[in-house]
């Protein structure tokens, strides 16, 4: 069946009629939507809208993550024809997913960007869908959290990262990818006692009460213990999951703006994400993929795998029956 489909499928990003099911289009051809989902601005009966956020004007070091969404979409063509490994179901078969395209904003009016993104996500949530965002630098999570907190109240934040991004910054108008979770806690968007940061390996003397599982703890205790600890903190609380690709060691994800040695391996991350099935994930993102700093494409491939796992986690608690 797959071989027969492969002979006929092309440009599934525009030609596919069904929002469900795998795609067998040639990986090296066609328009590159995320996992070969249909591009659509119509969210009728859509469960999850994947959307790109090509913004990198909040970085403190290397830029380039504005090109992340495009690279992640291209890398995802390697996964569109198989159910995700290690799961007992396939989110592509059981849920209606579209590629909602990118958020529109004026690159020359940076101060207008946060509201543009919040409104973009508001529209998705109002339509009854969840969002999975492809960044972009990590600041983009902050405007997204605003929209989610309007719907769910203070959220649990499950953050995979080398950095806490909670450095003090009381100027709520500043656009900075290292201070936005300080703002999120101070504004009540995030409940720190029910939030977890995984993979941290940089110094921040005041983590604002957020629970931290640093990279060393992951290495020493192992993925299973890490997942058990995460779940004990999150409970059943509505959780937003954000995965900064620099959570991975630069050996596995060199294409990022602020790489730090000693990070998680892709294998550790894969096990942790797989075993997070059961948490009450309401939305998520993958950020800080910077293609110009990785000619191999490995970082974008990792980002595409993470994004697919996030879809699986979201769907695991929403399956009928």
Binding site for Mn(2+), residues? 138, 161, 163, 165, 244, 246
Sheet holding 97-102, edge to edge: 97-102, 48-53, 130-135, 281-287, 239-244, 156-160, 196-200, 211-214
Residues making up the annotated binding site are 138, 161, 163, 165, 244, 246
User: What is the distance between the alpha carbons of residues 257 and 7, in angstroms, rounded to a whole number?
Assistant: 40
Beta bridge partners of 240: 157, 283
Minimal CA–CA distance to 134: which of 56, 27, 63, 61?
56
| Helix segments in the chain, DSSP class H | 2-8, 12-15, 68-76, 91-94, 113-126, 141-152, 180-186, 215-221, 223-234, 266-275, 298-316
User: Which residues make Cβ contacts (< 8 Å) with residue 246, sequence separation at least 6?
Assistant: 161, 162, 163, 253, 256, 257, 258, 259, 260, 263, 288
């Amino acid at each position: 069946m797959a071989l027969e489909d492969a002979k006929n499928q092309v440009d599934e990003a525009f030609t596919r009629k069904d929002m469900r099911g795998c795609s067998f289009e040639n990986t090296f051809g066609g328009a590159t939507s995320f996992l070969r989902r249909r591009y659509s601005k119509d969210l009728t009966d859509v469960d999850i809208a994947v959307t790109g956020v090509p913004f990198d004007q909040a970085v403190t070091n290397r830029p380039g993550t504005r090109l992340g969404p495009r690279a992640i979409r291209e890398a995802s063509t390697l996964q569109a024809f198989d159910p995700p490994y290690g799961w007992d179901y396939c989110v592509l078969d059981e849920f209606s997913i579209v590629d909602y395209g990118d958020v529109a904003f004026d690159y020359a009016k940076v101060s207008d960007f946060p509201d543009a993104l919040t409104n973009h996500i508001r529209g998705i949530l109002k339509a009854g869908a969840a969002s999975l965002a492809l960044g972009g630098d990590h600041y983009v999570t902050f405007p997204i959290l605003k929209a989610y907190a309007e719907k769910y109240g203070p959220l649990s934040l499950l953050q995979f990262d080398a950095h806490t991004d909670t450095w003090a910054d009381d100027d709520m108008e500043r656009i900075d990818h290292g201070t936005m979770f300080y703002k999120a806690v101070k504004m009540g968007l995030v409940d720190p006692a029910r939030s977890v940061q995984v993979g941290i390996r940089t110094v921040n003397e005041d983590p604002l009460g957020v629970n931290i599982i640093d990279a060393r703890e992951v290495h020493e205790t192992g993925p299973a213990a890490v997942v058990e600890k995460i779940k004990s903190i999150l409970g059943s609380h509505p959780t937003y999951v954000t995965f900064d690709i620099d959570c991975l060691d630069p050996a596995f994800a060199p294409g990022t703006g602020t790489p730090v040695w000693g990070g998680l391996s892709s294998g550790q991350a894969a096990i942790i994400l797989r075993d997070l099935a059961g948490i009450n994930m309401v939305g998520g993102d993958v950020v800080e993929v910077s293609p110009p700093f990785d000619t191999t494409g490995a970082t974008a491939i990792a980002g595409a795998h993470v994004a697919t796992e996030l879809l699986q986690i979201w769907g695991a608690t929403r399956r009928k029956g």
